[in-house]
């Protein structure tokens, strides 16, 4: 599906996202098939590998409606209770206009300007600089902002961050990401369950090695049949483990594919709402490497404006780098990049020997031909008339 502008990019991204979610849902059936393989090996350990594959296929057909129902039930539970879970983890609390007039007015103005229903506004007490949107329908939509963000950013920058989160809601990113996190959680849960089953199976197999060796010595025909059957069981276990690892890896890749592209579109949507690319760039530069929410799960961090938790060699990072996002805004929105920005709070984190001594006066500023220095000495002698030695153009009284 070709994309030639912002809105066609959004439509194209939604189409690809639905395909990715369908693929993510199919991973559940891959895990069911892998679990069926392990179960067949536990039931009968002396069959060839083709027997296990046929039996696991029959088990998958039988378990298909039950697996679908369990996944749907998981999604329904998360649909109604995911916001309570997020609030319990982050400590976000609903605020009103009276409690946060500055933040409330900024969000309300953005919603009114574009005819967007006003989401709930939440504030979490944290020095981190971050924000995120959540919810699966209009009654659940909410935007959560940290107190650290409110203190560090000015009104235009906060408005840009709010526009970023509103774009996630407008584009349906919040629903897709929440569902993706839920399904990926199912894959991870059952993957770990089957991995534990495989570990127990390996210990049981090693423990029963003595009895199998005695049976092989008593009957040569039994040893031949069990030798071939044991090989089939080993291959079946290897296939099951490979499928479990593949399902987990693909679930992470799908989440990354959903998140990275949507962050760039949300930045563009914020500029489209606020008409201020420089504010979005400045907000990203201030948030850069300051967004870690202590105690928050990885699922919550994936919803935030910036996720400083990077994977191995940046391969599993859920967000594009701030440099890449800023570069896109400069290239396509005409913004200006000021580079990394320091905050007043950063000075408090510097070693004491690097901080300025308040009792020590700054060095005197050398006088130039058109300057009176502008330093403290000049300010103290402002009532004095310049002498003849004060520069080549000094005036005599």
**DSSP code string of 258-311:** HHHHHHHHHHHHHHHHHS-HHHHHHHHHHHTT----TT--HHHHTTBS------
* Strand locations in the chain (E): 93-94, 120-124, 131-134, 142-146
Find the angle CA(83)-CA(86)-CA(87) to the nearest 5 degrees.
85
Instruction: Assign 20 to helix, strand or coil.
Output: helix
**Phi/psi class of residue 313: alpha, beta or left (left: φ > 0; alpha: ψ in -120 to 50)?**
left
| Cα(244)–Cα(31) distance, integer angstroms | 6
Q: Would residue 302 show up in a list of annotated catalytic residues for this protein?
A: no
pLDDT of residue 324: 92
CB 246 within 8 A of CB 151: no
Number of CB atoms found within 10 A of residue 118's CB: 15
Cα–Cα distance measured from residue 363 to residue 365, given in angstroms and rounded to the nearest whole number: 6
**The pLDDT of residue 14:** 64
Asked if 83 and 303 count as a contact pair (C-beta separation under 8 A), the reply is no
**Spans of all domains in the chain:** 7-89+174-206+226-258
Whether the predicted model's global pTM rises above the 0.85 cut: no
- Residue 241 CB neighbours (<10 A): 16
**Six-digit token string for 95:** 């605020």
From 40, 157, 159, 165, active-site residue: 165
Cα separation, 142 vs 169, in Å, equals 9
Tell me: the pLDDT tens digits for 12-67?
656 766 776 677 778 888 888 988 888 888 888 888 889 989 999 999 999 889 88
Separation of CA 28 from chain center: 22
- pLDDT tens digits along 332-348: 999 999 999 888 776 65
Split the chain (397 residues) into runs of 10 and give each run's mean pLDDT.
52 65 79 87 86 91 88 78 82 92 95 89 94 86 94 95 93 76 70 64 52 44 46 85 84 69 88 94 94 83 84 64 93 91 70 51 47 42 44 44
- Inter-CA distances, 38 with 52, 206, 241, 242, 285, Å: 9, 16, 9, 12, 50
In this prediction, residue 10 carries a pLDDT of: 58
């Amino acid at each position: 599906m070709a994309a030639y502008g912002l809105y066609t990019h959004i439509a194209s991204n939604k189409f690809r996202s639905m395909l990715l979610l369908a693929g993510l849902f199919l991973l559940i059936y891959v895990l069911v098939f892998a679990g069926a393989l392990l179960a067949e090996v536990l039931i009968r350990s002396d069959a060839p590998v083709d027997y296990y594959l046929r039996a696991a296929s029959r088990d998958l057909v039988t378990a298909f409606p039950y697996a679908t129902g369990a996944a749907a039930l998981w999604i329904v539970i998360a649909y109604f209770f995911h916001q309570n879970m997020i609030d319990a983890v982050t400590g976000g609390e609903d605020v009103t206009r009276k409690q946060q007039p500055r933040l409330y007015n900024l969000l309300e103005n953005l919603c009114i300007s574009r005819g967007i229903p006003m989401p709930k506004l939440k504030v979490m007490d944290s020095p981190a600089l971050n924000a995120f949107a959540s919810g699966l329908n209009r009654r659940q939509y909410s935007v959560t902002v940290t107190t650290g963000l409110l203190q560090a950013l000015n009104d235009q920058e906060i408005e840009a961050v709010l526009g970023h989160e509103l774009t996630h809601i407008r584009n349906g990113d919040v629903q897709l990401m929440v569902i993706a996190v839920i399904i990926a959680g199912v894959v991870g849960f059952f993957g770990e369950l089957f991995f534990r089953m495989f570990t127990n199976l390996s210990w049981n197999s090693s423990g029963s090695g003595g009895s199998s060796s005695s049976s092989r010595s008593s009957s040569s025909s039994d040893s031949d049949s069990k030798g071939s059957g044991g090989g089939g069981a080993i291959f079946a276990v290897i296939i099951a483990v490979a499928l479990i690892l593949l399902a987990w890896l693909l679930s992470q890749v799908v989440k990354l594919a959903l998140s990275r592209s949507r962050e760039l579109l949300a930045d563009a949507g914020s500029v489209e709402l606020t008409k201020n690319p420089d504010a979005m760039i400045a907000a990203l530069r201030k948030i850069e490497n300051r967004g870690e929410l202590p105690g928050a799960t990885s699922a919550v961090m994936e919803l935030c404006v910036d996720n400083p938790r990077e994977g191995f060699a940046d391969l599993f990072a859920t967000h594009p780098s701030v440099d890449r996002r800023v570069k896109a805004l400069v290239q396509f929105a005409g913004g200006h990049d000021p580079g990394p920005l320091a905050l007043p709070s950063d000075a408090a984190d510097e070693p004491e020997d690097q901080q300025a001594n308040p009792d020590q006066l700054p060095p005197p500023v050398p006088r130039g031909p058109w300057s009176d220095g502008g330093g403290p000495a000049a300010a103290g002698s402002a009532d004095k008339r310049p002498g003849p030695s004060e520069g080549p153009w000094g005036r005599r009284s």
